[in-house]
Amino acid sequence: MSKEMPEWLKKNYNTLWNRHENESFTFRDVQRELGISWSMTVKTLWGLEQRGFVNKERSEVDYRARTYRLISPEDINFVIGFYSLIEKEKIKNQALMEKFAFVGEKLPYVITGSYAAYHYHHYMNPSKVVEIKIEPKDEGKWIAFLTDERTRVFLGHVIETRKVNNYVKLIPSSMPLKTIREKTQQGYYIEKLEFLIIELLERQTQNNIIEAVAIIAQNNTIINWIGSDGVVNLSKSSGISRRLGFLLDAVNFEAGRPVVKAGIIENIMKDVVGKSNEIFPRDDIILSRFRELKSKLIHQALLTNKEMEELRKAKERLEGYKELSERWGFQVILPRDVIRKVLDDLGVKLGKK
């Protein structure tokens, strides 16, 4: 795909840049400021979008509306220069992961989330969105570099409605990328085991927890648990020692044996003081529904048989890890079968309870 702009598009880009620079603008702004028709406005924005020279975002005011923000001339020139060094057919035919391997050190990054997790556990297939941590100053370069006919790049929510093969979400990193990444045999960079486990627990959705359990089950003997960049210390720095301690405790409990050494869990316990009002994982829908059913239970006649069964299951979920919840000082609403299923699926030898 060519990254060069035809003269008519370059003229429109320059006019918009002189008006807005890095500020957001709308479709109507383009039509009014360029003095062009509706169809020519579509053509202009589509031409910029396909080349990765504009970032499309959802409006915070109207979810259906779209706003646009131009990639800077400096970032565009960097990518055009980068592409000029590559054989056109070579870059055109490269798959997304091959592009990551090809870019090497020219643009620092680290693949995180489900794609990185899959590299370590080969359990759950990764999501359609590839997440990469980048240096904040490189946002524009990444959008311009990765965007092509098959790939769309986003900073926030995925909003692409056209069918494409790849979605890439950019996450500005708060940590030095070289500290948190390692190179795979395929040549691209992924987040190190220890930092990825923390990343997944910080997100605290059920899928992320499943992936963290799968990583631990498959790699517990090579994970750096203790040390400056060990999982225990990282969890303390991130304020998620309770989550980590509970998860490791639950893994051992469901396995019926010490998959993770007891000393590691006791080490984490030293950092946990008192109780917390935190709920883990955070599932507002489940909690809201549970409170609604519990309120109706005061007048039991208002509950249908179906709702009674729903309430029973919700209560079972909220109290499934009651003892471990009390041990770690917060409320756990993780279904009991989640961790055990991962261990069973991965062939972890389960002991007797």
CA dist 5 to 30, 37, 80, 223, Å? 18, 20, 10, 48
**Are 64 and 75 part of one and the same domain?**
no
Q: Is the per-residue pLDDT at 306 higher than 80?
A: no
Determine the Cα–Cα distance for residues 270 and 242; give it in Å rounded to an integer.
10
Can you tell me whether residue 57 is helix, strand or coil?
Answer: strand
The domain boundary residue, chosen from 144, 175, 191 = 191
**Are 140 and 50 part of one and the same domain?**
no
**Are 126 and 185 part of one and the same domain?**
yes
Number of independent structural domains in the chain:
2
Tens of pLDDT along 2-60? 678 899 999 999 999 999 998 999 999 999 999 999 999 999 999 999 899 999 887 66
pLDDT for residue 279: 84
Q: For residue 19, give the CATH number of its domain.
A: 1.10.10.10
Which of 109, 28, 12, 31 minimizes the C-alpha distance to 70?
12
User: Is 111 among the domain residues?
Assistant: yes
Determine the Cα–Cα distance for residues 302 and 245; give it in Å rounded to an integer.
40
Range of the domain at 20: 1-70
Residues facing residue 68 across a β-bridge: 25, 56
Which helix H or strand E contains 207, and what residues bound it? Answer: helix 206-219
- Contacts with 93 (C-beta within 8 Å, 6 or more apart), sequence order: none
pLDDT for residue 89: 47
User: Is 47 among the domain residues?
Assistant: yes
Which of 314, 331, 228 minimizes the C-alpha distance to 278?
331
User: Is 42 among the domain residues?
Assistant: yes
CA angle 183, 238, 60 (to 5 degrees): 90
Tens of pLDDT along 155-165? 877 666 567 88
User: Is 54 among the domain residues?
Assistant: yes
User: Is 55 among the domain residues?
Assistant: yes
Which of 113, 103, 272 minimizes the C-alpha distance to 197?
113
**Are 22 and 82 part of one and the same domain?**
no
Residues 13, 33: contact at Cβ < 8 Å?
A: no
Determine the Cα–Cα distance for residues 181 and 112; give it in Å rounded to an integer.
9
User: Is 28 among the domain residues?
Assistant: yes
User: Is 353 among the domain residues?
Assistant: no
The domain boundary residue, chosen from 50, 70, 90 = 70
**Are 103 and 38 part of one and the same domain?**
no
Tens of pLDDT along 102-147? 888 889 999 999 999 999 999 989 988 999 999 999 999 999 999 9
The domain boundary residue, chosen from 16, 48, 70 = 70
- The residue type at 249: D
**Are 76 and 171 part of one and the same domain?**
yes
